[in-house]
């Protein structure tokens, strides 16, 4: 009963205005000073009093309590402060569009139940009331997504190799693994019985190169516009023809002239004339060696890597000049053949040879140590 009387008193002070009566900004602050409580403890008492007792609006009209049924049970001394606070919290969770009548019915159910029930029974009652008043439930709100953590570090070592390290979130890591695995399958055993002896880490590294080639060849790729290589030739033509010397690739590092010949098969070439002191004297026009139309024709004719036994599709291939352009070879279909990265390098740096047969299709001649008769071979996998 004393608690009920205190609540009525605090509600009255809240209505009249504690600032005008006692010079405090909030009723809770005044009550904390008077009762020797913390502001938090006093605030809980004041909030409970306002919810259980009528107050008055600014114009003097009476504002009914938010929980009159609970107030009646509390006045009888049948519920304590913890159950009252639990009921008030449940009432706050009711849908905002709940009618006055439904809210009153819900509050009466909780107040009657609180006479004999414990906190667990009130929690169950809360679930039942919410299911009754809001059968569809509140729309699930997705939590604010966290920015995924992704880190890539690429640094060039003194020996010319590049060290790649990184950290990927779970989704990006899974997608990266799937993309690499798709390109890292071992090469089939060739007709000479030669198996793919690369370790998995090496196959994954080669797969990374394939994925880069695909990305660079995309027409929407920023900076490349679908060209696999933009080669700035900063060595003399004689060095490039002989394969001796070094070249500068896109002004970010050096490469051997031998590697430049390989890269120049299917690229944009930007000739740069240098002085003896290394000063650029003239920059020529960009020259596209293999046109988009020629590339489409090659894709149809070869169907993929033309090397015997290779399964790689056209998207994974380069257009190789059979008679290199630096040696006067023309860029036309009878001098071009599709090769994957591995076999492109094999033709440039190995002992295999490629030529165009009389019927206009490419054929490959193995080195003598592989076949003493050096019988020409073709890839028949793409046109079964």
Q: Determine the pLDDT at residue 89.
A: 84
Q: How confident is the model at residue 337 (pLDDT cuts 50, 70, 90)?
A: very high
Average pLDDT in the chain:
76
Q: Where residue 376 falls among pLDDT bands split at 50, 70, 90?
A: very high
User: pLDDT tens for residues 244-260?
Assistant: 555 555 544 556 656 66
Confidence tier at 225 by pLDDT (50, 70, 90): very low
Tell me how far apart the alpha carbons of residues 225 and 218 are, in angstroms, rounded to a whole number. 7
pLDDT surpassing 80 at residue 161: yes
> In the chain, where are the structural domains located?
2-133, 146-210, 227-289, 290-384
DSSP secondary structure letters along 328-360: T---SGGGEEEEEHHHHHHHHHSS-EEEE-TTS
Local structure of residue 377 (DSSP, 8 states)? B
- pLDDT attached to residue 223: 45
Closest alpha carbon to 211 in 174, 184, 173, 249: 184
Q: How far is Cα 74 from Cα 184, in angstroms, rounded to an integer?
A: 74
Tell whether the model's pLDDT for residue 330 goes beyond 80. yes
| Whether 124 contacts 114, CB under 8 Å | no
Model confidence band, residue 31 (pLDDT cutoffs 50, 70, 90): confident
Name the DSSP class of 66: S
Which pLDDT does position 369 carry in this prediction?
86
Q: Is the pLDDT of residue 261 over 70?
A: no
Specify the pLDDT at position 361. Answer: 92
Classify residue 220 as left (phi > 0), alpha (psi -120 to 50) or beta: alpha
More confidently predicted of 232 and 263: 263
CB 65 within 8 A of CB 33: no
Residue 336 has pLDDT above 70, yes or no: yes
Q: What is the arithmetic mean of pLDDT over 346-371? A: 90
pLDDT of residue 158: 84
Residue 286 has pLDDT above 50, yes or no: no
Residue 222's pLDDT is what? 47
* pLDDT for residue 355: 94
**pLDDT category of residue 305 using cuts at 50, 70 and 90:** very high
Mean pLDDT value of segment 67-86 = 81
Residues of the chain with pLDDT > 70, as a percent, come to: 72
- Mean pLDDT along residues 299-328: 86
Element (H, E) at 373: none
Taking residues 68-84, report their average pLDDT. Answer: 81
What percentage of the chain exceeds 90 in pLDDT?
9
pLDDT band at 92 (very low <50, low <70, confident <90, very high): confident
Residue 136 pLDDT class (50, 70, 90 cuts): low
Q: How confident is the model at residue 11 (pLDDT cuts 50, 70, 90)?
A: confident
What's the predicted TM-score (pTM) here?
Answer: 0.44
Per-residue pLDDT for 148 more than 90?
A: no
Distance in angstroms (rounded) separating the CA atoms of residues 272 and 274: 6
């Amino acid at each position: 009963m004393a608690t009920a009387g205190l609540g009525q008193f605090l509600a009255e002070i809240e209505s009249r205005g504690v600032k005008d009566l006692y010079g405090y900004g909030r009723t809770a602050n005044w009550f904390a000073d008077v009762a020797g409580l913390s502001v938090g403890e006093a605030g809980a008492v004041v909030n409970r009093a306002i919810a259980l007792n009528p107050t008055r609006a600014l114009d003097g009209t009476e504002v009914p309590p938010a929980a009159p049924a609970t107030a009646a049970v509390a006045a009888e001394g049948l519920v304590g402060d913890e159950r009252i606070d639990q009921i008030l919290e449940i009432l706050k969770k009711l849908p905002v569009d709940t009618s006055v009548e439904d809210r009153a019915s819900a509050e009466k159910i909780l107040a009657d139940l609180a006479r004999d029930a414990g906190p667990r029974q009130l929690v169950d009652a809360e679930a039942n009331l919410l299911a009754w008043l809001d059968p569809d439930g509140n729309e699930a709100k997705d939590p604010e997504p966290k920015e995924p953590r992704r880190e890539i570090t690429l640094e060039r070592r003194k020996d010319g190799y590049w060290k790649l390290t990184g950290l990927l979130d779970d989704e990006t890591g899974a997608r990266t693994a799937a993309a690499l695995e798709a390109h890292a399958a071992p090469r089939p055993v060739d007709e000479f019985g030669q198996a793919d002896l690369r370790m998995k880490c090496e196959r994954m590294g080669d797969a990374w190169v394939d994925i880069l080639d695909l990305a660079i060849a995309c027409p929407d790729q920023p900076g490349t516009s679908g060209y696999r290589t933009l080669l700035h030739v900063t060595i003399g033509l004689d060095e490039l023809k002989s394969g001796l010397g070094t070249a500068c690739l896109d002004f970010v590092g050096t490469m051997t002239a031998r590697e430049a010949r390989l890269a120049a098969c299917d690229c944009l070439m930007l000739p740069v004339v240098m002085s003896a002191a290394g000063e650029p004297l003239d920059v020529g026009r960009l020259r596209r060696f293999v046109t988009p139309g020629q590339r489409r024709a090659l894709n149809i004719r070869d169907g993929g890597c033309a090397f015997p036994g290779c399964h790689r599709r056209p998207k994974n291939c380069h257009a190789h000049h059979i008679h290199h352009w630096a040696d006067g070879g023309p860029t036309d279909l009878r001098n071009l053949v599709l090769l994957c990265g591995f076999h492109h390098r094999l033709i440039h740096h190995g002992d295999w040879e490629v030529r165009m047969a009389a019927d206009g299709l490419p054929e490959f001649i193995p080195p003598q140590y592989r076949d003493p008769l050096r019988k020409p071979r073709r890839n028949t996998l793409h046109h079964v």
